[in-house]
Structures are given as C-alpha cells and as structure tokens.
Chain A
Amino acid sequence: MANLWQRLTQHDGNGWWNLPHTSSNELNPDFEGPIGGAWFGNMWRTLTHGGVSHAGVAFYWVIGFALAVVTLLEVWLFTVEGLGGWYIPILLALSVAKFIGVVAYFMHLRFDHRMFTYFFVSAMIVGILIFTLLLLLAEYGHQPALF
C-alpha cells in the first residue's frame, strides 16, 4: 500500500507538492516534470514532450493558451449578471491561478532552485501584510478629507 501511494504521488522521490532540488542555471532539469509527481507528471510528459520529463516549447504554448483562456473567462464573467457575492472571489481565484502560472512556469520557479522561491514568497508575505494593514487602517483609522 505504501509503495502504491508513493507511485501515485511522488516522482523520483520528489512529491509533486514539493519544490524541486535543482541547480540555479538549469533551463529544464531532466528529472523535474512541469507539475511533478507521477500522476500529473506523466500526463504532462505525454502531452508536451514525448515522454521526456521536462517542459518544452509545447508546454509553454499550453500555459500561454491557458492564460489567454482564463483572461477570456474573466472578461466573460464581467458581463454575467447574478453572480452577486461570488463575483469578486471568483475573479480573485482566477487572477491567482494566472499569477501562479506565470511565476511557476514562465519565471521558472517550478524548475529553479528553491532559494528563489523562498525569496519571492517571503516578499509576497510581507507585501500582503502591508496590503492588509493599509486596508485595516483605512477601515478603522482616521479618514482624511477627500477631494
């Protein structure tokens, strides 16, 4: 059972949710699939690179196409009435998906050294904290005169 679990969820000993163990200058490390993990990794390998485990040109086109489709979906949602309170959360979720797509694959964090991911994620955390603090201050702090 443990072996089956490992075969389903891991790829060369590196679970799909884990950051890769790669050097910093490798364009497409041989043993890192675009998604990672055997089940996703095998699917992408079949789709994008004829059985070779890393991402190639076709994979970048797939990601580009997906980003375009999500943008189209966002614009379509803008025209849909009746979403009510779901409108903003859905848009934010789609925006986060696009954000991750670009950062992970176009900016290569999925294939790059994990230190770069730590750098960027740390900055994101601080950035989001600044963001949240500003919004809280605006909600509960002194309101300046506007024009």
Chain B
Amino acid sequence: MTQAAATEHHAPVENTSTGLNSRKLMMWAFLGSDVMFFGAFIATYLVYRGKSLVGPYPSEILDIPITSVSTFVLLMSSLAMVLGLHYVKEGQKNKGTIWILIVVVLGAVFMGFQFFEFKTFAHEGLTPRTNIFGTTFFILTGIHGAHVTIGVIWMAILAYGSHKGTLRSDNSLDLEIAGLYWHFVDIVWIVIFTVIYLISATDGPPLGVGPTIVH
C-alpha cells in the first residue's frame, strides 16, 4: 500500500491551528510539566541520598521483594489499560469494560501495597519527620501515590461509563487521554523503583554509626 493510499484511511485532521486534538495536546503538555515536577523531587532525593545522620536507613527498611510485586502490578495495569482502550475503540463494550475494571483493581492493589509499606515504615520508626531519607522518600512516593489515587478514581468513572454505554468508540478519546495519564504514572514508578529502591536499597548508616533497627 502506498503512503498516499494509506493516508486515506486516517482519521480526519482536527480543525485546530495545530491540526491536532487540543484536549490530547493539553494532556501531553500536562505530562511534560509533570515530568519536570517529578524530576525535581527525584533529584532532591538523590541530592540528599546517604546524608541522613539518624536511622532508619534505606538498607534497614526497604523491602525489595514486596515492592517488586507492586511494580509488576502497576506494569500489568498499563497493559490492561492499552487493551481496554483497544477494545473500546473497536466497539467491544464488554471486553473494554472488563479491562478498564482490571486497571481499577490493579491500581487499587498498588495503593494497598503502598499503604502497607507506609504503615510498616511508620511502625519501624520512619516517618517524614524522622530523617532526610524519610522526608524525601515519603514526599516522592506520596505524591506518586496521590497520582495513582486520582487515576484509579478516573478509571472507575470511565469503567462505569463504558458499562452504561456512554463511553463508546466514537468518544474513546476520553479513555485515551486518561490512559496517557495512567501510563505516565507507570513510567514515573519505573524510575522511582530503579532509583529509590534498587539503587538506594544498600544505603546504610554513615561510617562509625551503628544500625538503627536490630531484627
């Protein structure tokens, strides 16, 4: 098929100054600003990495196996999201609704993991006020958790809309825009998991200072 022939099958160009859908462009612009937002918090975490003078320290408290499971859950929610969008665009209402509901469930499971983690950390003596690790860790992961919470509520509304038939293939852009947001939350976690958990998990107390938590 030639490119010219293929272009005939494309959706009509939007009647805007850019030729693009303004709502979608707005979401990309928002995600661009969120990149800088999270970039600043991740950089702040790295600036203060290993500089806590009192514990608990990352090596004493971070639980990699549990966080790996929650990371897997969030990644799979992204897969569910793209499948949900695919089926909604194809007009397969039931499949679309089920996959969007799976996104909601997986997002809620991820939030549950985070709640469990925060509660465990608080029980072991790490709060945002304990040390600089606690401050930077809770702010970064807490803001990400707030994003996930908003995403779960958004997806639940869209799942209800899909079930009721108000979300259809002709207005699937609503889901596509929500999906962009959801995938962005996922890629931010990809970075957080690597930088905060996998790379920092071996950070212990400064030289000459003993461990805070004795298991």
Listed from nearest, the 7 A-B pairs whose CB atoms lie closest are A123-B32, A64-B79, A127-B39, A138-B47, A134-B43, A31-B6, A25-B11
Contact with A along B71-84 (1 / 0, CB 8 A): 11001101101110
Residue of A whose beta carbon sits closest to that of B192? A95
A-side interface mostly = helix
For the complex, is B201 an interface residue (Cβ under 8 Å from A)? yes
User: Interface SS of chain B: helix, strand, loop or mixed?
Assistant: helix
Q: How far is the CB of B90 from chain A (nearest CB, A)?
A: 8
Within 8 A of A (CB), among B171-192: 173, 176, 179-180, 183-184, 186-187, 190-191
Across the interface, do B190 and A119 meet the contact criterion of CB distance under 8 Å?
no
Let me know if B32 and A102 touch, CB within 8 A: no
Residue of A nearest to B78 (CB): A106
A-B contact count (CB 8 A): 169
**Chain B residue with the shortest CB-CB distance to A97:** B190
A selection of 20 A-B contacts at a CB cut-off of 8 Å is: A12-B6, A14-B3, A24-B13, A24-B21, A25-B21, A30-B6, A30-B9, A57-B86, A64-B78, A68-B72, A78-B64, A91-B199, A98-B75, A106-B186, A115-B20, A127-B36, A127-B38, A131-B39, A137-B47, A146-B53
A92 interface hit (Cβ, 8 Å): yes
Q: Bits for A43-84, please: 1 = Cβ < 8 Å to B, else 0.
A: 000000000000011001101100110010011011000000
The docked-state distance in angstroms from the alpha carbon of A104 to that of B148 is 21
Which of B10, B44, B132, B183 is within 8 Å of A29, CB to CB? Answer: B10
Within 8 A of A (CB), among B116-130: none
Residue from the list B9, B48, B71 in contact with A71, Cβ < 8 A:
B71
CA–CA, A123 to B183, complex, Å? 16
**Chain A contacts to B: CB under 8 angstroms:** 12-14, 21-27, 29-31, 56-57, 60-61, 63-64, 67-68, 71, 74-75, 77-78, 87-88, 91-92, 94-95, 98-99, 102-103, 105-108, 113, 115-116, 119-120, 122-124, 126-128, 130-131, 134-135, 137-138, 146-147
**Nearest CB in chain A: distance from B203 CB, A:** 12
Which chain B residues in 1-53 approach chain A with CB under 8 Å? 1-3, 6, 9-14, 18-21, 24-25, 28-29, 31-33, 35-36, 38-40, 42-44, 46-48, 51-53
Using A31-B3, A107-B184, A147-B132 as known contacts, say yes or no to A95 and B86 having CB atoms under 8 A apart: no
Asked if A64 contacts B75 (CB within 8 A), the reply is yes
Q: Does B166 contact A (CB under 8 A)?
A: no
Find out whether the CB atom of A71 lies under 8 angstroms from the CB atom of B75. yes
Answer whether residue B194 sits at the interface, using C-beta atoms and an 8 A cutoff: yes
Given A29, A87, A106, A134, which contacts B79 in the complex, CB threshold below 8 Å?
Answer: A106
Q: In the complex the two chains form, what is the Cα distance from A85 to B183 in whole Å?
A: 31
Residues of B close to A88: CB separation below 8 A = 199
